[in-house]
Amino acid sequence: MKKNISTLKLPHYKSTASCQAVRMAVPKEVLLPMNMHSGQEAVPIVQVGEHVTVGQLIAREEGRNSAPVHASVSGTVKAIEPYAANGRKTTAIRIESDGKQERCPDLKLPQPTNLDEFLQCVRDSGVVGLGGAAFPVWAKLAAAQKNHIQTVLINGAECEPFITSDHRVMLECGELIQKGIELLKQFLQSEEYIIGIEKNKPDAIEALTERFKDDPAVKVMPLSSVYPQGAKQVLLYNATGKVVGPGQRLASLGVIIINVTSLVKMAEYFATGMPLVERIVTVDGSAVKEPKNLIVPIGSSVRDLVEACGGLKSEPGKLLFGGPMMGKTVATMDASILKATNAIVIMDRKDAKKSEPSACIRCGRCVAVCPLGLNPTAFAHAMELENEDERAAILQKEQVSLCMECGCCSYVCPTHRPLAENNSAARRFIRGWESAHKEGGK
C-alpha cells in the first residue's frame, strides 16, 4: 500500500449520539436471511409449522466462512422462502412471533478451556463483523492458531456520518468490552489491546479510559475525526504505524482488528449463553420523524423500526443500510435488519437527489484524497477497454483489489463522476477474471 492516509472532513450528522439505545416492541414477525455473513449461506434446519424459541439454532453454518442463524423471536415458523431485498438472492426463514420472547431451554453458558474450544464457542455464537463486513468473528480469531497475535485493535472509530450504534455500545456496554478483552487475553494471549475511537466521541473515550486505567495492556487511543478512520488499512496505520501489503493478511503482522460491537456480542454470548439475536441499530436521516438508537431483533423489518421512530415526516427518496459513504441502497421498507446492519438512513427526496455527472476535468482530486494512494481514473479507463485481458492487466497493476470502496474519491469529484460505483464494478470484474483464470489453470 502506498502511504497516503489522507483526511476527509465530513459533516458528522450524528444527531443520535446522545440517544440511549431503547428496546423496540417485539415485532409481529421476523424474516431471517441465510446470507447475513460474508461466506457460504447457512442451511435451514427447522420446518414450517415448528415452534421456536429465542436463541434456538434455526440454520446451521455450511462451508467456508459461514455462520449459523438463531431465532430472534419465539413463535412459529411460517415459511422458508426466497429473499432478495438486501441485494443478493437467498432463502429466508419467516417466524411469526408469539410475543413471549421465550428463551431457548437448550442454551448453556459456554465454558471453553483452550483456544480450539473457544473458537468453536465463538463459531456457535453466530457473531460476525458487526461494523458492516459480516466476516465470521471465529474465522478472524482463528488466525491465532497459526500466528501469534501481539496486538488486538478494537475498532470504535465509527467514522461514517449518521451512525452512532458503536458509540452507544461503548457508553452502555463497558463491562462487556472488558469481558471480551479478558476472553481474548485468556485464549489469544495477546500483549496489547488498542481501542481506537474518533475524537468526536469524547464521552466514550473518557468512560473507557477510566474503565481501563489500571490495565496497562489496554490503551484507549483517540483518533482524528476524519473519514475513513475506521477502514481496516487506515486504522491499522494510524493506530500502529503498520501497513498491510497487497494480498497480505493482517495476522501476519501480528494484528487482528475486531469491531467493538462484535467484541461485545461475543462477550455477551459467554456471559449469558445467548447467541447473536439482537443488536443496536441507528435510525436516522432527513425523512425520519424521531431519529433513535433501537435495540431490535435481527430480521425485523425496516418498516418496524421506522414505526418505532414515529414514522416518516416526508416522502422517502433513498433508503440506505449503513451510512451515506459506504451504505447500500435498499429498495423496500420490507427489507430485514441483518446481523451487520448498524444503521438505516432514510433521506427525503431533496437530500437523495443525485447530481448529474459530466466529463472528467483531470483535476486529480480523486487521486489526492484516496487514503491508499490509488488512482480511480485509471480504473475507470480500464473498465472502458473491450479486451478483458488488457483490462485485467491494468486493474492488477493499479491494485484495484486494495480499494476499500470508501467513496472518498466520489465525494470530492467536482464533476460527480460515479467513481465508487465504477471501483466496485472493477473489483467484481477482477475477482471474476482472477478466479476464472485460476480455475482454467492459465
CB of 247 to ligand SF4, least distance (A): 16
CB of 421 to ligand SF4, least distance (A): 10
360 binds ligand SF4 (CB under 6 A): yes
* Residue 366 within binding range of ligand SF4, rule CB under 6 A: yes
Is 364 one of the binding residues for ligand SF4 (CB under 6 A)?
A: yes
Smallest distance, ligand SF4 to C-beta of residue 420, A: 5
Select the residue interacting with ligand SF4 from 48, 217, 331, 363 (CB under 6 A): 363
- What minimum distance in Å lies between the beta carbon of 422 and ligand SF4? 9
Q: Which CB sits closer to ligand SF4, 271 or 412?
A: 412
- By beta-carbon proximity to ligand SF4, the closer residue of 63 and 364 is 364
Give residues with Cβ within 8 angstroms of 332, minimum separation 6. Answer: 85, 302, 319
Please identify which residue in 195, 309, 404, 430 interacts with ligand SF4, judged by CB under 6 A: 404
Name which of 251, 245, 283 is nearest 135 in CA terms. Answer: 251
Instruction: Tell me how far, at minimum, the Cβ of 281 lies from ligand SF4, in Å.
Output: 25
Shortest Å distance, C-beta 241 to ligand SF4: 20
| Distance of closest approach, residue 246 Cβ to ligand SF4, in angstroms | 13
Residues 372 to 401: which contact ligand SF4 by CB under 6 A? 372, 374, 376-377
Count of residues binding ligand SF4 (CB under 6 A)? 27
Q: Which range touches ligand SF4 (CB under 6 A), out of 73-81, 84-92, 250-258, 404-412?
A: 404-412
Query: Which of 36-44, 186-194, 339-347, 362-370 is the region at the interface with ligand SF4 (rule: CB under 6 A)?
Result: 362-370
Q: Which is nearer to ligand SF4, 303 or 365 (CB)?
A: 365
Our finding on whether 415 is near ligand SF4 (CB under 6 A) is: yes
Residues in 253-312 that interact with ligand SF4 by CB under 6 A: none
Query: With binding defined as CB under 6 A, does residue 403 bind ligand SF4?
Result: yes
If binding is defined by CB under 6 A, does position 131 make contact with ligand SF4? no
- Residues 6 or more apart whose CB falls under 8 angstroms from that of 241 comprise none
Stretch that binds ligand SF4, among 167-175, 235-243, 334-342, 406-414 (CB under 6 A): 406-414
Indicate the residue among 139 and 231 with the shorter CB distance to ligand SF4.
Answer: 231
Which of 77, 413, 22 is closest to 69 using CA atoms? 77
Q: How far is the CB of 236 from ligand SF4 (least distance, A)?
A: 14
Q: Is residue 362 a contact residue for ligand SF4 (CB under 6 A)? A: yes
| Residues that bind ligand SF4 in the complex, under the rule CB under 6 A | 360-366, 370, 372, 374, 376-377, 403-409, 412-415, 417, 419-420, 423
